[in-house]
Structure 1
């Protein structure tokens, strides 16, 4: 698990989080302007050394994995008020990681860039996100449609369905 410290957050030009994580890999993750604003407000409340935890427990030490999972579950439960489709779903830190990757993919970010952000050894590992999303596959197929064809899904004629049913 990655233990972020106050020194890992950089909010000047090109705001980002720098961390040393699993597999001894260094990762740089850009921050959105909204996240930058929230982090700037959070850091004004924090005092301490750059080596101090970014999100400390009551004891001043870093939060444990269980503590983070507990907080995430608590906030996911609260979020069901505004997003009922979350009800009954298990939201984990890994779920957030996959969601971020899928949102980047939907935004048109190249898989090689996503692989770098996720710290994948090989870009092929990031390919699972391409296989996981039917909408992306349909978009790719739509770009390759022959000219002079009507858009939409193919619907087989009844004679073909009857023939296939008879097999």
Structure 2
């Protein structure tokens, strides 16, 4: 039997494994594709070859390790992104291992590269005043401003992921009442329906006629009618956060991203007394334990818990220096 080339392995991995066997989502396929593309370009530069001439021998543990360092030092990726890239590479190598057992040594060494542990910071979210300032930032006298205002309002209220926001189609938004909601298919191919508040519904009803008539068109399109990229939404949020800082300076202390808006939606639900299991369903979390990060971030919950604990019956003491004469006698 002919040993498969790297090109054959990649074709089989994306079409057979991810496409037919795992039925992976478009987001997963795109993330894995980007990782393999970056790895091939990096290896080609190191080996002095074109990407199409790279072989599996060129992608050994040393090269993959250097690629991970490159992600850290050159691309300035976070540990989370670095681990996600490594997971994609591991998935490819696990697929290749039974197909080319003669390369087991090379493949096993790459598979042995561990995920990096990292600190988990407390989630960052916007207060109600900061949220109001952000939503007021877009200039609604322009088409772009009305689109951005609708996007920010929807993100803050629904807590949709960035990919869910950019993938939201006009037909996915129900604006009739009762039952006004947005329908999404999120992480893990989970379908969920997120209800809309009266304020968000009013904003979407005003905006949707400008989004375009096609039912499968994006709710938040570019001027050409295409879906916005993730980078475009990130720039949009950062721009309006900078504008909002003029009226609400506390925003400057926070790194506001689309995911910050998701955290803001979760914290608003938690502050309203919504149970964490319901918040997990609202956000589409795989496990309710994921939602516990919001319990750690909410100081008011901890303060209420502390108020129920009886304090120790002690009185504060104050340092009193020893009498000079007694001190002299004690030293004799």
TM-score normalized with structure 1 length: 0.83
Cα pair distance change 1:155/1:82, threshold 3 Å: farther
Whether 1:57 aligns to 2:215 is no
Aligned to 1:126: 291
The one of 131, 135, 138 equivalent to 2:300 is 135
C-alpha displacement at 1:42, in angstroms?
A: 0.3
C-alpha displacement at 1:134, in angstroms?
A: 2.0
> Which shows bigger deviation, 31-40 or 14-23?
14-23
The one of 292, 315, 326 equivalent to 1:157 is 315
Q: Secondary structure at the match of 2:215?
A: coil
Q: Secondary structure at the match of 1:140?
A: helix
> Which shows bigger deviation, 35-44 or 87-96?
87-96
C-alpha displacement at 1:53, in angstroms?
A: 0.7
Give distance in 2, aligned partners of 1:108 and 1:9.
27
| Greater gyration radius | 2
Aligned to 2:193: 28
Aligned to 1:10: 174
The one of 264, 269, 280 equivalent to 1:99 is 264
Aligned to 1:115: 280
Give distance in 1, aligned partners of 2:196 and 2:313.
44
Alignment of 1:70-89 (within 5 A): 70-89=235-254
Contact residue 295 and residue 301 of structure 2 kept, 8 A? yes
Aligned to 2:13: none
**Structure showing the higher strand proportion among its residues:** 1
Aligned to 1:150: none
Cα pair distance change 1:154/1:136, threshold 3 Å: farther
Q: Secondary structure at the match of 2:305?
A: helix
Give distance in 1, aligned partners of 2:226 and 2:186.
18
Moved >4 Å (runs of 4+): 153-156
Q: Secondary structure at the match of 1:28?
A: strand
TM-score normalized with structure 2 length: 0.43
Give distance in 2, aligned partners of 1:155 and 1:64.
59
Give distance in 1, aligned partners of 2:188 and 2:283.
12
**For residues 91-139 of structure 1, what are the alpha-carbon distances to aligned partners after superposition, in whole Å with 9 as ceiling and x for unaligned?**
0011111111111100111111100011111111111111222221111
Q: Secondary structure at the match of 2:216?
A: coil
Give the total of aligned pairs.
154
Cα pair distance change 1:156/1:50, threshold 3 Å: farther
Aligned-pair Cα RMSD in Å: 2.1
Aligned to 1:165: none
Unaligned runs of at least 5 residues, structure 1 = 147-152, 163-167
